[in-house]
Structure 1
């Protein structure tokens, strides 16, 4: 995927769900993975021509794995001219050394988001962008159906009233395969995850299930995504008809 195509997908999400307003200061949550770095490129590129002017910053919550080095991300943000903050935490130590969690994902996500949102507010941002792509949205819907008994997935835009902060998901129309292609084409400086259970989670199960369904029933994956968009899920904003 070329940058132009990425920007087209991003513009579509931003316009159809009203993700960006004039004067916004948006923080990009950077894990160091391919998705968040692609999101950084997307919003940096969009900022150059989008009619509503906005500021852009980036922030990483360092979970405390000693092997993780975010120096390449520092250099990338300097190259793009995006202010970048790294928040040091002991989340990994708490989860695996102190609590010895066997299923740490939920608690990890809660602690990570808490640290991220606090940092975002301290940076003076009113919005934070998460790098959930199309496959994440489909997998979340499946996980919700299987384990919670409800039809649900991430909303393109969510207002957190306790934090007075809005979460946006600008690359929701981008396939994970396209993210992988973008990473390779533009040689993104990916920081490899050091989580000991990475690849052994329920989300990985959902990812494999979606692939199996799509292999056996061509187009199933896209039809699931269409069902989500048209599903009137509670908390989702209405789509905005837009003519450029």
Structure 2
């Protein structure tokens, strides 16, 4: 094989990676703009677990930070919960190599959870509550204005169906929220990003992934089943997932049954609300996503607060 023969695949691979990276940056930039996630002077805590999602979140935010029209700080924070076998040096070594400020919080929540939850039972719920409390406390003590999490579009859709199927609620993960005590703003800049794009990006970037099964807890079977259902739909009906995600931001309260969202009691002939009972349903062809080579779009749409 000649040098020319090897150069062509390498060039194609580089072009493909550049398009993927620009697509992720574009989606992150759009989410930041749509929900005013980042403002001038923000000190953003990027929660880093060692998984593909949080690595990608940090990488994309670091890239946008260099060219964004607003100035903001980033600090990567990992919570070392003292799980047996946790590779303690992986994250510090990586974070030093990319030159981002970081903090490793050491809290033995693993022992606490194991002492409370019976063997064989899922530990995720209690572990999550403990982790959230520690993160919020550290954020408050260190002047953090935004807490960035690595949840993506697929997480949001899966949570929507989990709440419908098992909780009886039309509820999901909001891209931006205020904590119950009103002290913290949580943002999810990857809200518009597809999991398969993130997985491909993480593999190409060769992030030092830390496995998520160190605690030995059982995988959330309900979430796994929802994920499999959505993946099956994506194969059989291309575009369906995009349409589902679009529906989350296109809600018609008067055509649901929540009396807290719409005043059905006062509805009368004088009301302006129109009846669409006999109208054909709004069925649209899903938008076909395309690559854009103009990286400036993902940078300039970050608004000044």
User: How does the TM-score come out when normalised to structure 2?
Assistant: 0.72
Alpha-carbon distance in structure 2 between the residues aligned to 1:32 and 1:148:
30
**Is 1:152 the counterpart of 2:171 in the alignment?**
yes
Question: Aligned-pair RMSD on alpha carbons?
Answer: 2.1
Q: Which runs of 4+ in 1 moved over 4 A?
A: none
Alpha-carbon distance in structure 1 between the residues aligned to 2:31 and 2:252:
17
Alpha-carbon distance in structure 1 between the residues aligned to 2:86 and 2:185:
28
Range with bigger deviation, 137-146 or 201-210: 201-210
The aligned counterpart of 1:67 is: 85
**Contact 2:52/2:202 (CA < 8 Å) preserved in 1?**
yes
Structure 1 residues 190 and 201 mapped into 2: Cα distance closer, same or farther (>3 Å)? same
The aligned counterpart of 2:3 is: none
**Contact 1:32/1:70 (CA < 8 Å) preserved in 2?**
no
Alpha-carbon distance in structure 2 between the residues aligned to 1:181 and 1:110:
30
Unaligned residue ranges in structure 1 (runs of 5+) = 234-242
The aligned counterpart of 1:165 is: 184
- How far has the Cα of 1:209 moved from its partner? 1.9
The aligned counterpart of 1:110 is: 129
The aligned counterpart of 1:133 is: 152
User: How does the TM-score come out when normalised to structure 1?
Assistant: 0.89
Range with bigger deviation, 86-95 or 110-119: 86-95
SS of equivalent residue, structure 1 residue 48 = helix
The aligned counterpart of 2:275 is: none
**Is 1:224 the counterpart of 2:248 in the alignment?**
no
**Contact 1:156/1:169 (CA < 8 Å) preserved in 2?**
yes
**Is 1:80 the counterpart of 2:98 in the alignment?**
yes
**Contact 2:117/2:123 (CA < 8 Å) preserved in 1?**
no
The aligned counterpart of 1:236 is: none
Length, aligned pairs only? 236
SS of equivalent residue, structure 2 residue 131 = helix
SS of equivalent residue, structure 1 residue 56 = strand
Range with bigger deviation, 27-36 or 70-79: 70-79
Alpha-carbon distance in structure 1 between the residues aligned to 2:139 and 2:123:
24
CA deviation vs aligned residue, 1:48-73 (integer Å, no higher than 9, x gap): 01111100001111222121114222
**Contact 1:59/1:120 (CA < 8 Å) preserved in 2?**
no
SS of equivalent residue, structure 1 residue 26 = strand
SS of equivalent residue, structure 1 residue 7 = helix
Alpha-carbon distance in structure 1 between the residues aligned to 2:211 and 2:233:
28
Q: How does 1:191-202 map to 2 (within 5 A)?
A: 191-193=210-212, 194-197=214-217, 199-202=219-222
Q: How does 1:202-213 map to 2 (within 5 A)?
A: 202-213=222-233
Range with bigger deviation, 165-174 or 208-217: 208-217
CA deviation vs aligned residue, 1:116-152 (integer Å, no higher than 9, x gap): 1112222221110000001000000000100111111
Unaligned residue ranges in structure 2 (runs of 5+) = 1-16, 254-299
